[in-house]
Amino acid sequence: MNVPPVVLRIYLKFNHMMISTNFAVSNIKFENNEIILDKELSNLDSSVIEFSDILNRNNIRHVLISGYIPILFGKEGEIEYIDILIQNISFEKFLKLWLEIENSYECKNASDPIDAYNAYLKNYHSVSISKKGSNCPYFNLKIIKDEIERYVLKYRRIARIGGDHLYIPPIEMQISQNLSTGNEKEINEARFLYTLFKEKLDKALMDRYLKELNIPDESVETYLFGRLSK
């Protein structure tokens, strides 16, 4: 599936400031388990790639979720933080990550790695990390806690941008999760992703997600213009 060029102006809300960014998504292609984007990297994309690379270097399996996904694919929007699901990691592995990033990043809700790990990560709460002296968004790290999140992490997809790559959820799951919130902003994001990818969606798989999340048929019909399978 080829998607025509889309030139966007995105207003990103960093640290209570509105920053205007322009970039272009000129092509989206599919190869096996990968979605390949031909786009100019925004400052946001570069920040996310940089942090994702740090997680990769520390062998922390992760997947980006929620509001950044539609923005990655060209939706206008505002974002203050990036949600990242990670595997269940030991304190030793978390400490290694902390020591690597502590000179460049800071934790917003804990002052030392023991508190961050025991009070937040192990209790399935997010640890919020931001880059020092930067208007980059926060990165909210959270350990997976249920079967749906385990599935998203296990069956993550690759979004490739030039020589870089990011891990994202199956698009079918992201759409279903957005619809399940009942939040207008996330429903609009679900509609955007559905419209963009509808020719490539696994319709039976998405229908299963919708049913597992107990999303009423009328909601699907209202927001995604009809049930995906009969």
pLDDT in tens, 99-144: 999 999 999 999 999 999 999 999 999 999 999 987 778 999 999 9
CATH number at residue 70: 3.30.460
Flag whether 179 is in a domain.
Answer: no
Please give the tally of structural domains in the chain.
Answer: 1
Residue 179 φ then ψ, to 5°? -65, -35
For residues 135-164, one letter each, b for 16 or more C-beta atoms within 10 angstroms of the residue's C-beta and e for the rest, the string is bbbbbbbbbbeeebbebbbeebbebbbeeb
On whether the CB atoms of residues 160 and 34 are closer than 8 A, the answer is yes
- The domain containing residue 128 runs over which residues? 6-169
pLDDT per residue over 2-17, tens digit each? 443 333 333 333 333 3
> What mean pLDDT do residues 17-32 have?
56
Sign of CA pseudo-dihedral 43, 63, 142, 67: positive
pTM: 0.84
pLDDT of residue 227: 47
Q: Where are the beta strands (DSSP E) in 32-182?
A: 34-39, 62-65, 81-86, 105-107, 127-131, 138-143, 157-161, 164-168
On whether the CB atoms of residues 49 and 138 are closer than 8 A, the answer is no
Higher pLDDT, 48 or 66: 48
Flag whether 216 is in a domain.
Answer: no
DSSP state of 122: G
Flag whether 29 is in a domain.
Answer: yes
Flag whether 208 is in a domain.
Answer: no
CA 105 to chain centre: 20
Higher pLDDT, 16 or 204: 204
Flag whether 80 is in a domain.
Answer: yes
Flag whether 220 is in a domain.
Answer: no
Flag whether 230 is in a domain.
Answer: no
Flag whether 218 is in a domain.
Answer: no
